[in-house]
A and B are shown apart, each in its own frame.
Chain A
């Protein structure tokens, strides 16, 4: 399927769906005591309890995780014990970040016979050497045999920004300094601090040109989100965080065939999700899944966000990057701020693959209203003509389906030590 074809398709959704609950396990360097089920149970319970629901009320359950993180085949099946899978649930799993599981649940909720869904993800990044494990998501013929690690590939991307004068190492430090400062008010963050960019520039390189602060910490965590459709959402909470549009796009796995300084797949996904015309100027905050500091700069440029938009108020993936969880947590963090009234509209982004290969954009609003919905449909139409050139030049392969398409997915990686 060509990306041009999909760019012109309006979101095929018939009724509004909202995030009504979000819970997160405080990310830690290594969860020594609890296994995956023991980590997940309190998170799933918290997300359900917050809206007075049980797993028996869920019309659909979808999870995101990767067996490569702990080296245990079908670990996601065992993780179902945290939900309770008897009598049998309508259930699915993606070998990807939980954000892509949320996408599948959002699609499922267009079906009239269900109106709630539970989405969860878990990631024990500490069990193995995550920098190496992520190398196995690469082309197995010409890349994986070299064992390129996730930080080195991100460093190749950062170098392109520096070489082209788009951003400097000081800019990376500015991003990290802001994220760490934002994290001081995030109890689920793994690292936080008040160091200035100047202070951070004294950090050693992990892989030049990426210094310690420009790389995410390795951590274990879990997250859960409850989605509800239509009136059910309004019954459950006072202010649902309505998903007004969502889309994801993927670029070629041939790293050397991509423009690593740009993220055309993010741009296309955002347009298809409804980030067109005046919508960008209405966004209050953006939670961007940028495991490496320079990737936040690439994403913000690709999305064309206005200067006033608060970027990663939670601190983002630079302060807590449990693999398979950090993307879902971006949607959860953005939704939480819509639900608590601190934002009217928010953008959440999740990524997968090396160097921002695949990107998902989710727009959230305190209004299910037709205005933004209409925007999304316009975007689809405009995309046919307006964005085909971009798609043809830079995108590739169209939109990957969610369920089981991506093999080992994931992104980021880490310096191998706690920051």
Chain B
């Protein structure tokens, strides 16, 4: 086992979330778009507070919150932390301060950043003013507020628009360097008019990972390069798993004995794909099937070709069609598809257990 070099690969998780924001957050975001910061009244009498950013409920009691009120524009830094090496996606691509800012008229502080130039220019209690992006670039997002700046610094209200979620710089040199940027479906085609409500918010998310296949799956994946299926047998129940994950899911014990499997098998069940979808690479209709390799005790999904879709059936005997050796890699894509062997169908009893 130790002689297997474990495989790993970059793995990118990326999705453009569109969120419904509701009336309170929606008003807050519309306010930012229109150049003002809104809070919400919570509590009453001596306990009345103005919560910014506003919430639908009093964060202390859970009671419904009240009317929206404009706060700021200036405020006071209640805490700050100096970010000397901004991470991917940070609002500014130069050193800045994360800060909790309590705007004038607000009871609570909001999280944002201060473009102060250096840590030496930051202090708890200092006064700051908001710097908004150009009106034409505002979309109704917390990023319409580009940052805060120390009171008294120049041009506090204009800035280039921030690009939400886009990397300021790659945060890991091991990651691919030409990531596709997420779509931004909420980007409006026409500039919003003042007082238009904001109902949705686009929050693109991108995270970079290095996926590690582990010992057993690495052996399986390397077998695919050689044109063989390598499974593993459970020492307790003797079942053979392919692809192996290093354990018997029934017994919870390590599987260590490698088993080289035939590349023929039986279709246990299947479906016919008729509906086009994003990323579809194969002509419709096509058949996705669970294939139980001979000698294995678990099926896996693959394509069935070389037979009209309406003739595929349970029990169909199939053989793997491998890519030419030079085109194979450590991936199930090394197997183009499964095709009928021409043998008689397997009897139902032979695969009944695997449905």
Contact surface of A with B, Cβ cutoff 8 Å: 1-2, 31-38, 41, 44-45, 55, 68, 70-72, 78, 80-86, 124, 126-129, 131-133, 136, 139-149, 152-153, 155-160, 163, 205, 207-210, 252, 254-257, 260, 392-398
A38–B207 CB distance below 8 A: no
Which residues of chain B are near A256, meaning CB under 8 Å? Answer: 52, 78, 100-102, 108-111
Cβ contacts under 8 Å, A156 to chain B: 79-81, 98-100, 111
Pair A146/B111 contact, Cβ less than 8 Å: yes
Nearest CB on B from A204, distance (A):
9
Q: Are B246 and A37 in contact (CB under 8 A)?
A: yes
A145 touching B203, Cβ below 8 Å = yes
Task: Specify which of B60, B91, B246 is in contact with A396 (CB 8 Å cutoff).
Answer: B60
Task: Verify B214–A257 contact, CB threshold 8 A.
Answer: no
* A114 → chain B closest CB, angstroms: 19
Which residue among B52, B108, B112, B205 has the maximum number of chain A CB atoms within 10 Å of its CB? B205
Question: Assuming A37-B247, A82-B252, A147-B87, is B209 touching A32 (CB within 8 A)?
Answer: no
Which B-chain residue is minimally distant from A159 (CB atoms)? B79
How far apart are B338's CB and chain A's nearest CB, in angstroms?
Answer: 24
Contact B91 A207 (CB under 8 A): no
Contact B87 A86 (CB under 8 A): no
- A81–B213 touching, CB < 8 Å: no
Q: Could you say which of A1, A141, A254, A257 contacts B25, with CB atoms under 8 Å apart?
A: A141
Q: Which chain A residues border B87 with CB–CB below 8 Å?
A: 129, 131-132, 147, 149
Asked if residues A68 and B108 are in contact (CB atoms below 8 Å), the reply is no
Does residue B286 face the partner (Cβ distance < 8 Å to A)?
A: no
Q: State whether B83 touches A207 (Cβ < 8 A).
A: yes
Interface string of B176-220 (1 = CB under 8 A from A): 000000000000000000000000010101011111111111000
Q: Is the CB of A145 within 8 A of B164?
A: yes
Cβ contacts A to B, 15 pairs, < 8 Å: A34-B214, A35-B214, A35-B245, A36-B214, A55-B252, A133-B207, A141-B142, A145-B142, A147-B90, A155-B98, A207-B81, A256-B101, A256-B109, A260-B79, A397-B62
Contacts of A70 in B (CB 8 A): 209, 211
- Given B6, B78, B171, which contacts A132 in the complex, CB threshold below 8 Å? B171
Are A392 and B164 closer than 8 Å at their CB atoms? no
Per-residue A-contact encoding for B137-151, CB less than 8 Å = 1, 0 else: 000011100000000
Taking a contact as CB atoms under 8 Å apart, the answer to whether B102 and A145 are in contact is: no
Give the complex CA separation of A41 and B247 in angstroms.
8
**For A41, what are the chain B residues with a Cβ–Cβ distance below 8 Å?**
246-247, 252-254
Q: Is B171 a contact partner of A392 (Cβ separation < 8 A)?
A: no
A254-B108 contact given A41-B254, A141-B53, A392-B61, CB 8 Å threshold:
yes
Closest chain B residue to A138, Cβ basis: B111
Q: How distant is B77 from chain A, measured CB to nearest CB, in Å?
A: 10
In the complex, besides A83-B252, A129-B88, 18 extra interface pairs with C-beta distance below 8 angstroms are: A1-B62, A2-B61, A32-B6, A32-B8, A33-B6, A41-B253, A71-B12, A81-B252, A84-B247, A127-B212, A128-B209, A129-B207, A155-B81, A155-B98, A156-B99, A252-B59, A254-B51, A254-B55
Q: Is the CB of B207 within 8 A of A68?
A: yes
Asked if B216 and A38 make an inter-chain contact with CB atoms under 8 angstroms apart, the answer reads: yes
Q: B142–A140 contact, CB under 8 A?
A: no
* Nearest CB of B to A56, in Å: 10
- Most chain A CB within 10 A, of B141, B164, B214, is at B214
A383 to chain B, nearest CB (A): 17
Q: How far is the CA of A128 from the CA of B251 in the complex (A)?
A: 31
- Given A155-B98, A160-B79, A252-B60: A33 touches B124 (CB 8 Å cut-off): no
Q: Say yes or no: A132 contacts B207, CB within 8 Å.
A: yes
Say whether B59 contacts A257, CB under 8 Å.
Answer: yes
**Within 8 Å CB of B278, what residues of A?**
none
Bound CA span A209–B98, Å: 12
User: Counting CB contacts under 8 A, is B158 at the interface?
Assistant: no
The answer to the question of B291 belonging to the interface, with a C-beta cut-off of 8 Å to chain A, is no
CA distance A208 to B79 in the complex (A): 12
